[in-house]
Structure 1
Amino acid sequence: MMKLFRMLKPYRVGVIFVLLMVFVQALSELYLPTLMADIVDKGIALSDVPYIWKIGGLMLGVAMIGMICSIAASYLSAKVSMGFGRDLRSRVFSHAQRFTLKEFDKFGTASLITRTTNDITQIQQVLTMMLRMLAMAPMMMIGGIIMAVSKDAKLSLVLVVVIPVLALLILLIGRSALPLFKAMQKKIDKLNLVLRENLTGIRVIRAFGREQSERQRFDHASGDLMNTAIRVNKLMAAMMPAMMLILNFSTIAIIWYGSHRIDAGEMELGNLMAFIQYAMQILFSLIMVSIIFVMVPRASVSAGRVNEVLEAVPDIEESSSPQTPSRRGQLEFRDVSFSYEGAEEPAIQNISFNAGPGEVTAIIGGTGSGKSTLVSLIPRFYDVSSGTVLVDGVDIRNLAQESLRGKIGYVPQKALLFTGSVAENIRYGKEDATDEEVREAARIAQAAEFIDGLEEGYDSPVSQGGSNLSGGQKQRLSIARALVRRPEIYIFDDSFSALDFKTDARLRAALKAETQDATVLMVAQRVSTVMDADRIIVLDQGRIAGIGRHGELMRTSDVYREIVSSQLSEEEMVAQAEGGLK
């Protein structure tokens, strides 16, 4: 946790003022019992009314100073902790954005959300408590002991017995609670994961009638968290009554022993009353520490989880000396292989090909053949295990990531849209795109027709994930988002699967004119989508099973012929073969 608290440097002035306010508040509270003792021993005992008014007014003034300092300390500590929490969330979010997909796979989306929200909130709350209580408690304890001893040293022996007992109780409960707090945070992760899957997959759940099983899965995760929370709270609930019991017995012991000393003339009544107040302050300062002990174990677990994110080194780092490419849009794979972490077999092996501007390179193959893996290596979502990917003649590992990705227009397999308007989603590809550029990109992507049919046109709202649009509409907006930036390399990762054949044909015709000066990579399942490509790469179990045009592959590649025969009739295959021979 101390590693994270280094981020408090910008707030050191606020922290100093909080400690100063707490110090003054502690002094005022320590001074009040002495003033009360003076009123009893010198005012009431001697019937000196003016003295009572004088000291009473002084007590009121001291109490007012303590109250003002308490309010100021509360305000400043809240301001510091909220600012710290904001900065820490921003730092975690910014660091997570540098992660590759490998790190996201490692932590999990649900866990990253928990760490950025719940875990940082725990740390923030403990910081507020520490600025107030952790500073106040030692001041009150040390000051209370000094003042209590000054009133009656022999009576202070009661405290010598009580304080170690309370300290031991706090320590034992804190040690027992720590592993339970660790378990709680993991179970919150699990609950978030179940909830997130349930909300994002609600269509599938309802389609298969799995609502009851999902409720049971959620109830199990929620009940598991509840049971752990109850165990923790039982410990904490036992601590407060135990401490109050010790506190009350201490008070009885002080009154009993103090009454004997008053009877013997060794102590005055006012001093006994003041001593009881100081004893309460000392013991309540220990209770403050116990409250912190309740929160610190959980916050320390949260701090450890946040530190894990901040200390995670992204698998892909920027080149120390990025190179400047000399060509535009040239792509080359040289004997590239890639394996996912923990996988027994490589996802792709020994892939080599060239693709240049003005060419359409199509990638086709069965499910799990490595098509999406191959194109994900180009924007460096993952780094190659061996071999080299070159863009414009430069190894992409020697290019600045921003420069590399600025050359690419990427349309993912699963169309993902963001909350906002239709125009804002298209403009996501180029922030400063004009309205004309947005409309032109939508026209080429065959999205203009359905956008104009919306009630607010390009200002129509898009809900989270684009759930208020059909699959085909989302795909066309994703394509428009890539088109608006006019990149040097287009990557269409099975981006036409939700389109009907008529729209697919119109879109490919419009793209041909738009992308004639760019390099186009097109992952597809449909043979009709790839037939006209300049180069078709056939993948089978992560290896290249053939490269060439449609007609050539029909003669030379068994895998390609199987794919074609599964989609086209015999007459269409003959016609296509004859067209290829011509």
Structure 2
Amino acid sequence: MSKETTGNAFDYTLFKRLMRYTKPYKFTFTGVAISAVLLSVFAIARPILLKQTVDNYIITKDLNGLTLFILLMGVVLLFEVIFQLLFIYYANWLGQSVIKDIRIKLFKHMMAFKMKYFDNSSVGILVTRAVSDIERIAEIFSNGLFMIVSDLLKMLVVIGVMLTTNWRLSLIVFCVLPVILYATRLFQKAMKKAFIDVRAQVANLNSFVQERISGMKIVQLFVREDEEYENFRKINKKHERAWVKTVWYNSIFFAVAELLTSITTGLIVWYGGLRVIVGEIELGTIFMFIQLSQMLFGPLRQIADKFNTLQMGMVAANRIFDILDTSSTIEDKGNVIATNFKGDISFKNVRFGYLENEEVLHGITFDVKSGETVAIVGATGAGKSTIINLLNRFYDINSGDITIDGTSIKDFSLESLRGQIAIVLQDVFLFADTILNNITLKNNSITEEQVIEAAKEIGVHKFIKSLPHTYHYNVKERGVMLSSGQRQLIAFLRAYVTNPGILVLDEATSSVDSYSEKLIQKATERITRGRTSIIIAHRLATVKKADKIIVMDAGKIVETGTHKELLKKENGYYKNLYEVQFLAEEEVI
């Protein structure tokens, strides 16, 4: 993969890789390429016909011949318009088809990433890559590649016509040509670096805005509006400067190009006029050379502009391929299909750290028997949630082994493993969709009738029926139309309808109203009945009813036992925790 810091105007390896995505559309690709060639032919025909019209019919005052050639020029113009229409439409269609395929591949690739990748990546930047950067790739086809090819062909044909018509006038044009070519080259290199900066600033701006909008409640709660406004001003200023730099380069280049074109036209008129007076060339030749010189210099200016589009698309493609080349996926080589787990879970000397040389779990070993409800308690940062992440293989362990029903979780296919484990997280995420779709996640194998029956079983049907449109109520982005307790109930139901072999609950009822808390407690009892359940316990009722309690501290298991057994240990960690936290809670209740 080419480095973004290179000042190269064009990266052939990157371009070749991008062209592979056009293979499914090779018929359209060929048609657009042919249209580009024909457009250059029709464009050259116009000045040639103009010369013939001036010399043979206007000067000789041949009205019939003039009418015929005017009609002929009209026909040529009509064909040019038709092919221009086909060219623009199908070039854009090809670009959109290619980015559709790339976007699908990118999204599928990102969905397979480890959680660690998302831990270290900005959501705003990833959104920029998947949306705006990919749109830049489409412009390679619509306004870049084919237009450049068409312009280059046009320029080659123009040069050939000039040389065969009058080499002296051609020399006048060619003397200015190297200056424009040199200016174009400098312009392209400067714009490549400028566009890299632009894309970086766009990503930073998107990331900042996305995070602040998502965390607007925190911004307002802590009265950070003025500070965030100033931060935004600074980031937006950098974004502006990056774009202004590209505008500055454009302003210089196009002004110089326009000046050189005007000088060339003046020299053609001056020298050509003298030759007409002495009878060396015909008047129509001057008209043709003026038009041909504009057709030669015009594409040069446009090529520079289109090359900018091509370069911006290549920079975007480079960023997209960087993500596609990222191998941050969980290894999925298991060939055992997990079906109907009994629920025997075993952690054997498991060691794990999110960062290298920073271990979070230090040789964890415990067993959960089929049908047991196990509560994991401990202070924040003890490693409770890490156990959940490892069981689902959101992360891979550093050493040791985790088995379910005697089989290592690495031997299960990832899809089937996660399909047998349902999780209710403390921070419930709901999509901007109906309650029904948030429960089924549009799984066609789960019917609305099954959802309603499950809701009745765990005691949340009445709550859902009280909402407008009931199960078809749209909860909006992240479920903002529901309270935290209601979102939690939806999450319980979402887990329950999948009929998992193993259930993991990050129980969170500390911030919900008493009515929702009672519903959640009832749902917890129903959903854990008869299946293996691991619960990150926050409430006393859950801890007491658990078949076993695992007490963690600083990534180690310090105690294991039932509620009564652990309370009997003098100066025990659980006993102290219970007296400080749970007993105080019991007194309040």
Moved more, 564-573 or 135-144: 564-573
The answer to whether the Cα contact below 8 Å between 1:325 and 1:393 also exists between their aligned partners in 2 is: no
- C-alpha distance in 2, partners of 1:21/1:164? 29
TM-score between the two structures when normalised by the length of structure 1: 0.93
Show the 5 A alignment for 1:246-285.
246-285=260-299
Which residue in the other structure is 1:580 paired with? none
Which residue in the other structure is 1:81 paired with? 95
- One of 279, 283, 295 as aligned partner of 2:309: 295
Task: Pick closer, same or farther for the CA change 1:112–1:94 going to 2, 3 Å.
Answer: same
- C-alpha distance in 1, partners of 2:387/2:532? 16
Q: Post-superposition shift, 1:500?
A: 5.0
Show the 5 A alignment for 1:192-271.
192-271=206-285
Give the partner amino acid of 1:423.
Answer: L
- C-alpha distance in 1, partners of 2:46/2:38? 13
- One of 449, 474, 478 as aligned partner of 1:465: 478
Q: Secondary structure at the match of 2:550?
A: strand
Q: Secondary structure at the match of 1:155?
A: helix
- One of 416, 430, 440 as aligned partner of 1:403: 416
- C-alpha distance in 1, partners of 2:334/2:374? 32
- C-alpha distance in 1, partners of 2:50/2:110? 58
Q: Secondary structure at the match of 2:391?
A: coil
- C-alpha distance in 1, partners of 2:74/2:586? 99
Which residue in the other structure is 2:435 paired with? 422
Task: Pick closer, same or farther for the CA change 1:320–1:246 going to 2, 3 Å.
Answer: farther
Q: Which string of whole-angstrom CA distances, capped at 9 and with x for unpartnered residues, describes residues 381-434 of structure 1?
A: 111111111122211112111110110111122101112211221222854223
Show the 5 A alignment for 1:238-387.
238-319=252-333, 321-322=335-336, 328-342=342-356, 344-387=357-400
The answer to whether the Cα contact below 8 Å between 1:430 and 1:484 also exists between their aligned partners in 2 is: no
Identity of aligned residues (%): 29
- C-alpha distance in 1, partners of 2:189/2:179? 16
Task: Pick closer, same or farther for the CA change 1:106–1:223 going to 2, 3 Å.
Answer: same
Give the partner amino acid of 1:453.
Answer: S
Q: Post-superposition shift, 1:182?
A: 1.5
- One of 510, 513, 519 as aligned partner of 2:532: 519
Moved more, 15-24 or 430-439: 430-439
- C-alpha distance in 1, partners of 2:518/2:544? 12
Report the aligned-residue RMSD: 2.1
- One of 57, 64, 68 as aligned partner of 1:43: 57
Q: Does 1:173 align with 2:187?
A: yes
The answer to whether the Cα contact below 8 Å between 1:102 and 1:315 also exists between their aligned partners in 2 is: no
- C-alpha distance in 2, partners of 1:447/1:34? 81
Task: Pick closer, same or farther for the CA change 1:195–1:522 going to 2, 3 Å.
Answer: same
Moved more, 494-503 or 534-543: 494-503
Show the 5 A alignment for 1:154-173.
154-173=168-187
Q: Secondary structure at the match of 2:568?
A: helix
Give the partner amino acid of 2:163.
Answer: V
Which residue in the other structure is 2:503 paired with? 490
Q: Post-superposition shift, 1:569?
A: 4.1
Q: Post-superposition shift, 1:323?
A: 6.1
- C-alpha distance in 1, partners of 2:233/2:429? 30
Task: Pick closer, same or farther for the CA change 1:510–1:121 going to 2, 3 Å.
Answer: closer
- C-alpha distance in 1, partners of 2:488/2:34? 60
TM-score between the two structures when normalised by the length of structure 2: 0.92
Give the partner amino acid of 2:384.
Answer: K
- C-alpha distance in 2, partners of 1:434/1:150? 77
Moved more, 494-503 or 111-120: 494-503
Q: Does 1:548 align with 2:561?
A: yes
Which residue in the other structure is 2:204 paired with? 190
The answer to whether the Cα contact below 8 Å between 2:145 and 2:310 also exists between their aligned partners in 1 is: no
Task: Pick closer, same or farther for the CA change 1:5–1:497 going to 2, 3 Å.
Answer: farther
- Provide structure 1 residue ranges, at least 5 long, that are not aligned to the other structure: 574-582
The answer to whether the Cα contact below 8 Å between 1:445 and 1:476 also exists between their aligned partners in 2 is: no
- C-alpha distance in 2, partners of 1:513/1:457? 22
Task: Pick closer, same or farther for the CA change 1:68–1:217 going to 2, 3 Å.
Answer: same
- One of 106, 115, 119 as aligned partner of 1:105: 119
The answer to whether the Cα contact below 8 Å between 2:337 and 2:417 also exists between their aligned partners in 1 is: no
